Amino acid sequence: MRNHNNLAAEGYARIVVVFYLNKHRKVIQVSRSFSSLERKRYLHEMASREMDLLVIGGGITGAGIALDSSVRGLDVGLIEMQDFAMGTSSRSTKLIHGGLRYLKQGEIKLVQEVGREREILYRNAPHIVIPEWMLLPIIKGGTYGKWMTSFGLWVYDHLAKVRKNERRVMLNKEETLNKEPLLREDILIGSGYYVEYRTDDARLTIEVLKTAFHYGATMVNYAKADRFIYKEGKVVGVHVEDVAEGETYELYAKKVVNATGPWVDTIREMDHSKKGKFLHLTKGVHLVVDQSRFPLQQAVYFDIPDGRMMFAIPRDGKTYIGTTDTNYNGPLEDPDVTEEDISYILNGTNQMFPSLKLIREDVESFWAGLRPLIHESGKSPSELSRKDEIFVSESDLISIAGGKLTGYRKMAERVVDLVCLKLEQESQKSFPQSTTDKIKISGGNTAGYNHLEKGDSIKDDDSEFAAFKNKWVTEGESLGISSEVSCKLVNRYGSNVVKVFNKIMQNKDRAKEFNIDECLFGELVYGIEEEMVRTADDFLTRRTGNRFFDIQSALTNQEPVSRYLSTLFSK
Ligand code: FAD
C-alpha cells in the first residue's frame, strides 16, 4: 500500500539525517519522535551536554531560529514555558502579508522583504500558506481614493514582486458588489482586488518546529527558563523548570537567544540588561461569527470610522473579524478580551456591512494577542514600526524583538548569522550560510502531483497543492473517511496526512472506548506522538484550531480528550 511505503520512506529519511548530524556531534542516537511522551528524555539529553545554542521561546521566532541553526549544523535546544505557539503566535490575524500597510508608513525595505518571504513560504509550505484574494473597498471619505488605491497597489505589486496573475485589479462599484454583496452600498465607489496569503499561525509554528526537529534540534514545551547561569559575567546556561512534571534542570549552551516575544523585556530584566530600547505591547482582538450570521463570500480589508482598517475573513464555515490595536499593560499570559473590544469590532463591522446588525450574542469565540513592538516616543499603537531588532547584552544574551509572523525566516537568519559569527570568533569552527529558503516545511512535500513549475499559475484549483489534495482526499475516501473530513485533514497536515490516516485506522477501538470521533482521535494520537501535545487545550486550540473555528466540537471533546491524556500523563 502506497501510504505505508510513504510512511516508511519518511521515517527512514529522519533517521539518516539525525545520524548524519550526530556523527559530527559524537552523540549516539537511533530514532527520535517529536512526542510528548519523550519530553523528559529530551530535557535530560539537553542537560547532559553543552549545546551550541539554547533558544528561549517556542513561538514562530524561536521556531525559525531553531530551524535555521539546526540546518546549519548547530547543536540547538529550545525551551517553551507554555505550549508551543501559546503566546502571540496563535493569536494573530493569520495572514502572511505582502506588507501593504507598511507602504502607507513608507517602509519600502520591509515591503520588499515580506513580499519575497511570502513567496518563499508559499513554495515551502503550500499546505499552510494559501493565496486569498482580498477586496479593498474604496468609500466616500475613506482612507484612499480610487487613484491612490490603484497607484498604491501598483507600487506594492512591484515592490513585493507579486506574481503577474496575482497583481491588483481595480473594480467598479457594481463589480465590487458582485464580489461581496454585503458591503454598504451608499458610500461605495469601487475597490482594489489584490492577494494576501492566509495561514494558521499555530500550525505554521508547529510545522517549523517539526522541521527543526527533523534536522536534529531538540525542543520541549512546558519548560520555563527561570534564571540564568553565569560564568565571568557571561550567560553560559539557563536554569529550567519542567512545569508539567515538576523537575528542574540546568541547560548549558555556548550562546543563549531570548526569542520570547512579549516576554523579551521580562527575560532582559532577569538578565539585568533591560537598558535603552524597550518593548511597547499593543493588544489585538479577533472575533469569530458563524457564516449563517455573517455569510461573507470574500475576504475584505475595510475602513472603520476611526480611520483604522479591519479584516473580515471567511474560514471553515465561520467569518473572523479584527483587529483592535490598543496599548497594553496587563498580564502577558492570556490577555483578556473586554466588552469594549467586542463592541469596537462589532460597530466597525456593522458600519461597513449594515444589513448584518451583528450583536454580542453572535460572537462564538474570540482571541486576543500582544504585539511585541519596539517603543517609539509619541507614536500611537498603529503607527509603531513592525520592524524587528536584535539586542546583545553585556552578558552576551541575544534578544530579538518586534517583527511579524511573515518575516520569521529572515529574522531567524539574522539571529543565527550573529550566533555563528560569535561562535566562529570563539572557536576554529565555521558555519554555512542560511539555506532555509530551500527547505520544505514539514507537511509541505506536496510536489510531483502535476506539472506546474515555480512562477506558473497558482490559482487554488490548479496549484500543485490542489493536485496533491485531490489525490489524498480520494485516498481518504477509499479508507472510509468522508470527503469533507479527508479534505480538512489534507489541508491541515499536508504531506503528513498519510500518518494521520494511519493513526485513524490503527486506533478505532480506542476511539470508541473514549467516546471520541475516530478521525479526531487519530489526530489526537498523531498530535501526541508527533506534535508534542500534552494537554487538551494544546490539541483543541493550537493543533486543530477547533476552539476558535469549531467551538462546539472543542466543548464536546474537552472532557474525553482530557480523560485520554490523563491515562498517558499522571501529572
Ligand atoms: P510569541 O509567539 O509570543 O512566542 C514567545 C514565546 O516565549 C511564548 O510562547 C512564551 O510562552 C515563551 N516564553 C516566554 N517566557 C519564557 C520563559 N521564561 N521560558 C520559556 N519560554 C518563555 N504577523 C503577521 O505576519 N501576520 C499577521 O496577520 C499578524 N497579525 C497579528 C495580529 C495580532 C492581533 C497580533 C498581536 C500580532 C500579529 N502579527 C501578525 C504579529 C505576529 O503574530 C508576531 O510578530 C509573532 O507571532 C511573534 O512571535 P514570537 O515568537 O516572537 O512571540
Q: pLDDT, tens digit, for every residue of 254-272?
A: 999 999 999 999 999 999 9
* Interval 160-173: pLDDT, tens: 788 888 889 999 99
Cβ contacts of 413 within 8 Å, gap of 6 or more: 68, 434, 436
Percent of the chain with pLDDT over 90: 76
CB atoms within 10 A of CB 155: 14
Distance between CA 208 and CA 443 in Å, rounded?
A: 10
Under 8 Å between Cβ of 282 and 371: yes
Q: How confident is the model at residue 387 (pLDDT cuts 50, 70, 90)?
A: confident
- C-alpha distances in angstroms, 511 versus 1, 385, 482, 558? 24, 48, 17, 14
Under 8 Å between Cβ of 76 and 55: yes
Residue owning the nearest CA to atom 38 of ligand 1: 92
* Interval 200-248: pLDDT, tens: 999 999 999 999 999 999 999 999 999 999 999 999 999 999 999 999 9
User: Can you tell me the mean pLDDT for 131-153?
Assistant: 88
pLDDT of residue 15: 41
Distance from residue 406's CA to the centre of ligand 1 (Å): 12
Element (H, E) at 142: none
* Interval 18-29: pLDDT, tens: 444 444 443 444
Percent of the chain with pLDDT over 70: 92
pLDDT of residue 8: 34
pLDDT of residue 500: 98
For residue 462, is pLDDT > 70? no
Atom of ligand 1 nearest to the CA of 369: 36
Contacts of the segment 459-464: beta carbons below 8 A, 24+ positions apart: 459/131, 459/165, 460/130, 460/131, 463/126, 464/126
Residue owning the nearest CA to atom 34 of ligand 1: 284
Mutate-to-test residue for ligand 1 from 68, 90, 93, 313, highest number of ligand atoms within 8 A of CB: 93
Q: How confident is the model at residue 571 (pLDDT cuts 50, 70, 90)?
A: low
Q: Which amino acid is at 504?
A: I
Higher-confidence residue of 254 and 146: namely 254
Omega within 30 of 0 (cis) for the link into 436: no
Under 8 Å between Cβ of 315 and 549: yes
Atom of ligand 1 nearest to the CA of 407: 25
User: Can you tell me the mean pLDDT for 396-417?
Assistant: 95
For residue 463, is pLDDT > 80? no
Q: Which residue has the cell 561562535?
A: 423
pLDDT of residue 107: 79
User: Can you tell me the mean pLDDT for 93-116?
Assistant: 82
Residue owning the nearest CA to atom 51 of ligand 1: 59
For residue 383, is pLDDT > 80? no
Q: 5-14, 39-48, 161-170: which has the minimum mean pLDDT?
A: 5-14
pLDDT of residue 3: 38
User: Can you tell me the mean pLDDT for 32-55?
Assistant: 97
Higher-confidence residue of 403 and 82: namely 82
Q: How confident is the model at residue 6 (pLDDT cuts 50, 70, 90)?
A: very low
User: Can you tell me the mean pLDDT for 446-454?
Assistant: 53
Q: Please, what is the average pLDDT of the chain?
A: 90
pLDDT of residue 28: 40
Three-state SS across 5-29?
Answer: HHHHHHHHHHHHHHHHHHHHHCCCC
pLDDT of residue 112: 84
Protein residues with CB under 6 Å of any ligand 1 atom: 56-62, 79-82, 86-89, 91-95, 97, 224-225, 259-263, 284, 323, 369-372, 403-406
Q: Closest Cα partner for 86 from 119, 114, 115, 63?
A: 63
User: Can you tell me the mean pLDDT for 467-496?
Assistant: 96
pLDDT of residue 449: 52
pLDDT of residue 155: 85
Mutate-to-test residue for ligand 1 from 91, 241, 263, highest number of ligand atoms within 8 A of CB: 263
User: Can you tell me the mean pLDDT for 185-191?
Assistant: 96
Residue owning the nearest CA to atom 33 of ligand 1: 92
Mutate-to-test residue for ligand 1 from 405, 538, 542, highest number of ligand atoms within 8 A of CB: 405
pLDDT of residue 21: 45
User: Can you tell me the mean pLDDT for 332-343?
Assistant: 97
Q: How confident is the model at residue 448 (pLDDT cuts 50, 70, 90)?
A: low
* Interval 499-532: pLDDT, tens: 999 999 999 999 999 999 999 999 999 999 999 9
pLDDT of residue 375: 84
- C-alpha distances in angstroms, 170 versus 149, 150, 189, 190? 9, 7, 11, 8
User: Can you tell me the mean pLDDT for 127-145?
Assistant: 90
pLDDT of residue 329: 95
Mutate-to-test residue for ligand 1 from 92, 96, 251, 388, highest number of ligand atoms within 8 A of CB: 92
pLDDT of residue 144: 75
